[in-house]
A and B are shown apart, each in its own frame.
Chain A
Amino acid sequence: MNGRTDIAGILGSLFFASAGAYVFVASLGMSPMAAMFPRTVGAALALLALVQIVTALAPRLRNRERMVPRQDAAGEGSGAAVEADADGQAESRGRRLVLLATMVAWALLFPVVGIFVTSLAACIVLMFTGLFGRISPRRLALYLAVVLAMVIFFHLLMGTVLNIPLPRGLLF
């Protein structure tokens, strides 16, 4: 890992530098009392992010930088293993995207459609997202029953026991 430029870190720092610069510029249009703190913090954030970018690009310091290795990083292996690993990475990327899309859709749709229906649908999608390999129809039915029971349990707990007004939406 040593000697490699921390590209992801640099991109992250660019995001933070931009955010700091935006906050600084936006504070120029505020009243003095509301502007002082954002201006100070925005300038500090942009400065720190720029220092981080310079540090990541400086070859002398780059070799010393300790980076936490990710568990899913590709390891060494034969050509076939590398190919299988590439397939695995593509699959895991797909699963991550499905999870993210499900969470975003869940958050946006549940007030409109209803919390019970969206939660049940999202939980079933997520159940399949967390499912690896083939399973028997009996086990699949069991998993679906557990997911249904879980959604009913939390729905009753929140709506009936804790008296939290749950959005019913178009369905329920």
Chain B
Amino acid sequence: MAVDFGFVLAQAFSPFNLLLAVIGVVLGTVIGALPGLSATMAIAVLVPFTFAMDPASGLIMLGAIYTGAIYGGAYAAILVNTPGTPSAIATTFDGYPMAKRGDGDLAMTLATLASVVGGVVGALSLITLSPLLANIALAFQSSEYFWLAILGLTLIASLSSGNVLKGLIGGAFGLILSMIGVAVIGGDTRFTFGSSALLGGIDIVSALIGLYCIPVLIDLVARPDRHLEPAPLGRGFRLFEAVGLCVGNGVNLLRSSVIGTLVGILPGAGGSIASLVSYSEARRASRNPERFGRGEPGGLLATESANNATVGGGFIPTLVLGIPGTPPDAVILGALLVQGIRTGPELFTQQNGIAYIFMFGLLIATLMMLPIGLFIGRYAYRFIVNTPKALLVPLIAFMTVVGSFAIHSNPHDVVVMVAMGVLGWLLGLAGFGPSPIVLGLVLGQIAEQGFMRAYMIGGARGNFGGQLLFDRPISWAIVALILVTLAFPVLRRLRRSREAGSEVRS
């Protein structure tokens, strides 16, 4: 079915959807500016409010919140050396030294411009590449989807936490959580412990809200220090100076945006990885690498363009394959399932062009980030800095409770949210991060369906191994990627120990 682009543009540019994009960017920027409150959490808390909207509007708002939150993370990174979101970790390297020497205003304007450039490159890649990838994705069979899910888990295990083994354990535990309830194939009731409330399984969005928000709340009340220390602001916006620096760093901006998009496409890798990779590339390619880490605008431009490019890039596997490219995509994938939208190649030919409305909406939201980021974002940051913990804690807690209740108007989801939050906090103390568990929960059904279909087809042929792996070239390629992903941290550790050994000898 051909997509009516006139209808798509009319929908994307409708006044209501434009308003939602503005509100989403503002809310995302405000939440993203708070250290500890990640883009994932911003979406997780606000996602239930979109359930009352029609799917296209809800998705546009979620995309706007996401892109705004990634951008908002730069504020605290630049002004107080604290990344507002994990994707802004590398922003502190040069942003804070700039602010310390009195260029905080310039750094914030640079971050806004770089975020818009990166976001636009990511969104354009999403619009142009997704339909092509959707056609390629049609060649994927059940066994490939199983291996893709495993690839996503191994990537997040090796990239999101310091310990690959703990990441893999978290991913496997997430897969087990996804099995609770009625089996997708076989129909057995599994691991419900006799509770009828668990028959429907663990709701993904409830689990996400609990796993990401409750540990943040616990940490907020644990320390008496302010959650943010304000830094003095200098002169105005310094827009023309910033534009000049962006033009001078044009290649850097473009390269970092492409890196961000590509890293975003990889399931499991997020803005934090993209910004670190692009930062190291910018430093490697620079004529003055020694300036990096001391307030080099090029470093700031690289990280901020890359992390916003992951927004568009991450949506490519989310929409095309149903595999989230980044953790916030996992939340949005959960929202899509609640809205009754099945991701996959058919999304681009069916459902009244909803995928295209969303993609154009994301582009509009990214462009709106420029005025919003320059004029509203910085004042929102001042407001957040001055919000006392005594009000911040009940505000976040209330949003988690009403948010998880609103998913299905079911009190059981709130209990699940709190239980998952407590479990996530305890596991966090033991060094097990929430992201692999969440990805395992999200990918569980895809992995099980792929695995079991290969088992059934292979069993009928008497060749399970061939159906799952040996007769499938695409499976071979994905398994090779999984092995590379697992081998990379081991090689890095070996190289480090060798370097440490040679330093000791010298």
Contact = CB atoms under 8 A, between A and B. Distances in A.
A94 to B, nearest CB: 10
B460 interface: no
B176 A128 contact: no
Contact of A30 (B186, B422, B456): B186
B385 interface: no
B402 A11 contact: no
B166 A95 contact: no
Interface string A46-70: 0011011001000000001111100
B389 interface: yes
A13 B406 CA distance: 34
A26 to B, nearest CB: 7
Contacts of B421: 103
Contacts of B19: none
A56 to B, nearest CB: 9
Interface string A20-64: 100100100011111111101110110011011001000000001
A96 B218 CA distance: 5
B13 interface: no
Interface string A93-107: 101101110111011
Interface in A114-153: 115, 119, 122-124, 126-133, 143, 146-147, 150-151
A166 B48 CA distance: 14
Interface stretch (B59-67, B121-129, B281-289, B409-417): B409-417
B182 to A, nearest CB: 9
Q: On chain A, which size bracket covers the interface?
A: 35 or more
B156 interface: no
A127 B391 contact: yes
A33 B186 contact: yes
A42 to B, nearest CB: 7
A81 interface: no
A123 B186 contact: no
Contacts of B187: 31, 34
Contact of A133 (B175, B224, B417): B224
Nearest to A104: B418
B393 interface: yes
A164 B409 contact: yes
B432 interface: yes
B162 A68 contact: yes
B397 A45 contact: no
B402 A130 contact: no
Contact of A19 (B173, B214, B224, B429): B173
The B interface, classified by DSSP as helix, strand, loop or mixed, is helix
B172 interface: yes
Given A20-B172, A154-B402, A11 B430 contact: yes
Interface stretch (B112-120, B357-365, B447-455): B447-455
B165 interface: yes
A147 B262 CA distance: 44
A66 B496 CA distance: 12
Contacts of A80: none
Given A26-B191, A104-B418, A64 B493 contact: yes
B139 interface: no
B409 A19 contact: no
B188 to A, nearest CB: 4
Contacts of A111: 411
A37 B452 contact: yes
A132 B179 contact: no
Contacts, number: 209
B389 A132 contact: yes
Nearest to A155: B402
A77 B136 CA distance: 61
Contacts of B429: 8, 12
A100 B422 contact: yes
Nearest to A16: B169
B183 interface: yes
Contacts of A110: 401, 405, 411, 414
Nearest to A37: B448
B221 A130 contact: yes
B9 interface: no
A130 B166 contact: no
B163 interface: yes
Interface in B147-183: 162-163, 165-166, 168-169, 172-173, 175-176, 179, 183
A51 B165 contact: yes
B221 A129 contact: yes
B175 A31 contact: no
B223 interface: yes
Contacts of B219: 72
A133 B55 CA distance: 46
A65 B163 contact: yes
Contacts of A8: 429-431
Given A37-B448, A96-B221, A162-B49, A107 B414 contact: yes
Contacts of A150: 391, 394-395, 398
16 contacts: A12-B430, A33-B452, A34-B186, A36-B452, A37-B179, A38-B190, A52-B166, A92-B223, A96-B221, A98-B221, A103-B401, A107-B401, A131-B390, A150-B395, A154-B402, A158-B402
Given A31-B187, A44-B172, 13 more contacts: A34-B183, A36-B452, A42-B176, A48-B172, A68-B431, A72-B219, A95-B222, A96-B221, A107-B401, A122-B401, A126-B394, A147-B394, A154-B398
Interface of A: 6, 8-9, 11-13, 16, 19-20, 23, 26, 30-38, 40-42, 44-45, 48-49, 51-52, 55, 64-68, 71-72, 88, 92-93, 95-96, 98-100, 102-104, 106-108, 110-111, 115, 119, 122-124, 126-133, 143, 146-147, 150-151, 154, 158, 162-167
When A and B form their complex, which 8 residue pairs have the shortest distance between CB atoms, in order from nearest? A12-B430, A34-B186, A33-B186, A130-B393, A34-B188, A123-B394, A34-B183, A132-B224
